[in-house]
Amino acid sequence: MIIAPKVKDFLCLTAHPEGCKKNVSNQIAYVRSKGEIPGQAKKVLVIGCSTGYGLASRIVAAFGCHADTIGIMFEKPAKGKRTATPGWYNTAAFEKFAKEENLYAKTINGDAFSQEVKDQTIEMIRKDFGKVDLVIYSLAAPRRTASDGVTYRSVLKTTGEEFTNKNLNLKDNTVGTKTIPAATKEEIHDTVKVMGGEDWKLWMEALSKADVLEENTVTVAYSYIGSELTYPIYFEGTIGAAKKDLHKTAQEITEEMKEKGVHAYISVNKGLVTQASAAIPIVPLYMAILYKVMKEKKVHEGCIEQIDRLFLQKQLLDQPEVDEHGWIRLDDLELSKDVQTEVKRRWELVDTDNIKELGDIEGYWEDFYHMFGFGEEGVDYEADVDPVVSISSMEG
């Protein structure tokens, strides 16, 4: 079939297998161009491995550290006229490229929040690895069913009063305003349950109890703080409450597992167009302006540039560079004074008439379509392609 993008609100309902493959190939080429990564990471578990920062982490581990990897994802294969999800195609491509390099790469497709997937992962580590030396936690999910059977749902709301600010309408690229309602205490609690650190800690406890962690294992989870412009909806919103819980969890994991030398880090990353961030009101407008400013200053980075810098420059695997909170700051370029001063200046001026001048609308949509395998150079989008792609580690 000929696969074209079908966009509804902030989601693309189709994905292109060859485009996703090209995207993965491009990321691998970037990692190779930056050279070898020092430090010990040879048996790596990536929880949330199929898109965005998780996919970039798996690529950097495999092609920068020459690590064998086990990935956990929750993706759907193609069915009938429906394409697979982009994460499915990304993973199929990743495994193919890893196999060509004689790197071990297996993937478990299931609910990472569940005990069943944790048990399945531990069994695979025991059988194939013995132990892991790096655990990357990069889950982004709208809901979580806990071990007691209760399902929690996250919300994108403020935690104080309702908040109104400028907003980019993704349907027609117009600039208007959006009001974000305040969350109830229950909604805040549920969002923390889904997006906070509880599940990360459960994973680390399960891996430790099963004795599948090497001495001095490093684990890292990804966070975002962002600009003061987005504080009410992000850092001071329900997502921010969850991220603060995640930050606290890093300290708890490190403290509770210090006898094994396990160290848990938080990497605070820069703002990027992801399937998660596209859904957050007000944030896409900030991203469009941020992209323009950072590109003009030649400091813009995507997921793969960020994660390669995390391993290479920030030395994740060997006494990383951290701030006063113990966080690794990959948002240092985004939050630099000259970038933020210019972003804030443009924010005050931006409207529908000048959004293309002050913001990078084209770059925003380019990144959006790339997530689903569209707009990649060298891919024939008029070609008849088979949407059914198998993942080698799942065959049989």
* Active site residue ranges: 234
Closest by alpha carbon to 94, among 104, 84, 83, 82? 104
185 has which bridge partners?
none
Query: b/e per residue, 29-55, with b = 16+ CB within 10 A?
Result: ebbeebeebebebebbbbbbbbbbbbb
CA terminus-to-terminus distance, the chain? 26
Structure tokens of 185? 């205490």
DSSP state of 44: E
DSSP codes of every residue in 310-332: HHHTS-TTSS----TTS-EES-T
Structure tokens of 9? 């609100």
Cα 354 → chain centroid: 31
Closest by alpha carbon to 133, among 74, 198, 50, 70? 70
- Residue 49 CA to residue 312 CA, distance in Å, equals 20
Residue given tokens 């370029």 in the structure block? 333
Strand 132-137 relative to strand 105-109, pairing? unpaired
- Residue 159 CA to residue 152 CA, distance in Å, equals 17
Q: Label residue 378 exposed, middle or buried (CB < 10 Å: 0-12, 13-18, 19+).
A: exposed
- Residue 288 CA to residue 361 CA, distance in Å, equals 6
